[in-house]
Amino acid sequence: MSSSSSSWVGPVGAFLNGWRSRVAADPQFPFKVLMEELVGVSACVLGDMASRPNFGLNELDFVFSTLVVGCIVNFVLMYLLAPTLSASTPTLPSIFVNCPTSHMFESGSYTLFHRFGTFVYKGVLFAAVGFAAGLVGTAISNSLIKMRKKMDPSFETPNKPPPTLLNAATWAIHMGVSSNFRYQTLNGIEFMLERVLPPVVFKSSVVVLRCLNNVLGGMTFVMLARLTGSQSVGEAKQVISVADVGEDKKVG
């Protein structure tokens, strides 16, 4: 058994060791991850669609991009914010050495300044993850759309594909600010509820809280994407087509 576990080296081995450490520190961690990926991502997509005109049916390409990136970032957020055993606690940079290692609401005699330090550190970390996931997710979704166009030449998306770099930067801002604050707060609430609620009630509260959190996250991302221009609706085609109709009527 030890030989098989020791054969995993590099990033895979580090991930597996980190997973075991998180499960040992919080036995509910696998359940929380499962709910985040199933319920949370679904709720995020619903919130995303609810913030778009016509419930996002004219912008399914953007919705799909959100789905791909959301699956990646939600897992990474869960993994990075989860507590670990003290023996395997990651070392923070020296400037944040006295700050909570998991989230800013972690139990312990930390000052407000140190808790804010965790918020800043995790924000920078999540922004980097958001940028990387935005690059990968946007590239994947754009590639799948191009593949669909090759298979079906008549297929045409109603909007321009989101610019990869701009969309990744938008995800970085969203992750570093909105997701950072929401998930750290959510972790603090869950650990508080776990102490006072029966297991069944606690698991139900996890589902509800993560559902609401992701609906809010999906809605805030759409608003941010509109502000940055990373996901602009193809209104130009509609304006041109209306103008053409007017010209045709004049000619007629």
Reported as a single tens digit per residue, the pLDDT across 162-198 is 888 999 999 999 999 999 999 899 988 988 998 899 9
Percent of the chain past pLDDT 70, that is, above it, reads 85
State the Cα angle at 23 between 171 and 80, rounded to 5°. 20
The pLDDT, as a whole number, for residue 149 is: 81
Spatial separation of the C-alpha atoms in residues 73 and 69, rounded to whole Å: 6
Query: Which residues of the chain form beta strands (DSSP E)?
Result: none
Reported as a single tens digit per residue, the pLDDT across 58-84 is 777 778 877 888 888 888 888 887 888
Spatial separation of the C-alpha atoms in residues 107 and 188, rounded to whole Å: 9
- Residue ranges per domain, the chain? 2-251
The pLDDT, as a whole number, for residue 241 is: 41
In angstroms, the Cα distances linking 51 to 45, 167, 208, 227 are 10, 17, 20, 13
pLDDT over threshold 60, residue 118: yes
Reported as a single tens digit per residue, the pLDDT across 2-11 is 444 444 567 7
At residue 227 the predicted structure's pLDDT band, cuts being 50, 70 and 90, is very high
